[in-house]
């Protein structure tokens, strides 16, 4: 099987929802309802033969069997074509790829999720895993930020998270609209007020590239140890196999060594953050 690594598996879209002007949600089943067998934090290459592939984070928890979910932002040629697909359409899937979140290491620990914008999509795979396996984990804080209320993703689900007893959920927007009753301001403003036991808290961060620097400063002010800060990084994962070179962060291949890294591993890697 020479090129089987490059051959996608057939999958079918079983539900979609336009979430915002630019983000669309897809529920996908692999052929014969096979499980994707992913870890939270991993990604897949979504393939449209004739157009190409796009790396997309898996946004559902592996505790949900028989299907998985993606949240796709329309940003380029492939994602524009994906947005045109509807229920019943087929697409190709390769993966899952990369290292996701270290679930075993996180068990028994307190978790502080920090998501900016579309960064909620990969974190949601872990958040929902934690919700489904709640007793395995300690305190859970979720901070979510985005530019405007109309860009908020998974709005119905956010309301559920707000009501869950074992979870503290906070949300902020950079710019409010007249109906917005929540926090206004950058996500970094939410961090100082969070009550956490730094010794046993893992911070799990995903957002636009610009966000990391500012969030990391706030986490350091809290004295969270570097190896307890997990970031999920975006790069151009073209092959997913650690070969093509596009996603390289210095000596690391984001697609294989990441996309989830603990901060102590990349702290001294120039250009990583």
Binding mask 131-170 for other proteins (x = CB under 8 A): ----------------------------------------
When asked if residue 108 is in the footprint of other proteins (CB under 8 A), the reply is no
Q: Which stretch binds other proteins (CB under 8 A): 13-21, 139-147, 221-229, 248-256?
A: 248-256
The contact mask relative to other proteins for 66-105 (x = CB under 8 A, - = no) is: -------x-xx-xx----------xxx-------------
Candidate list 184, 209, 217, 227; residue touching other proteins; CB under 8 A: 209
* The one among 64, 248, 262, 265 contacting other proteins by CB under 8 A: 248
User: Quick check: bond before 19 cis, omega within 30?
Assistant: no
Does residue 269 belong to the site contacting other proteins (CB under 8 A)? no
How many positions of this chain bind other proteins (CB under 8 A)? 46
CB of 239 to other proteins, least distance (A): 6
130 sits near other proteins (criterion: CB under 8 A):
no
236 binds other proteins (CB under 8 A): yes
Minimum distance, C-beta of residue 19 to other proteins, in the bound complex (Å): 17
Kindly list the residues in this chain that would bind other proteins in the complex (CB under 8 A): 1-11, 47, 49-54, 73, 75-76, 78-79, 90-92, 208-209, 234-236, 238-239, 241-251, 270-271
């Amino acid at each position: 099987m020479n090129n089987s690594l490059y051959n996608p598996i057939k999958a079918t879209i079983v539900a979609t929802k336009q979430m915002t002007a630019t983000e669309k949600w897809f529920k996908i089943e692999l052929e014969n309802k096979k499980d994707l067998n992913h870890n939270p934090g991993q990604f897949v290459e979504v393939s449209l033969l004739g157009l190409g592939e796009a790396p997309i984070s898996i946004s559902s928890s592996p505790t949900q069997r028989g299907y998985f979910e993606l949240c796709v932002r329309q940003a380029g040629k492939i994602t524009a074509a994906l947005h045109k697909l509807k229920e019943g359409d087929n697409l190709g899937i390769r993966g899952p790829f990369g290292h996701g979140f270290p679930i075993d290491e996180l068990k028994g620990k307190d978790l502080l999720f920090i998501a900016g914008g579309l960064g909620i999509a990969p974190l949601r795979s872990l958040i929902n895993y934690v919700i489904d396996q709640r007793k395995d984990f300690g305190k859970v804080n979720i901070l979510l930020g985005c530019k405007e209320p109309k860009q908020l993703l998974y709005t119905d689900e956010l309301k559920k998270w707000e009501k869950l007893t074992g979870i503290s959920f906070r949300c902020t927007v950079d710019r409010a609209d007249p109906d917005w009753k929540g926090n206004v301001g950058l996500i970094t403003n939410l961090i100082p007020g969070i009550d956490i036991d730094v010794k046993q808290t893992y911070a799990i961060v995903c957002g636009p590239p610009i966000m990391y620097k500012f969030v990391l400063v706030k986490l350091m002010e809290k004295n969270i140890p570097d190896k307890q800060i997990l970031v999920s990084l975006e790069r151009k994962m073209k092959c997913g196999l650690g070969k093509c070179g596009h996603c390289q962060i210095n000596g690391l291949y984001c697609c294989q060594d990441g996309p989830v890294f603990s901060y102590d591993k990349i702290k001294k890697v120039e250009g990583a953050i």
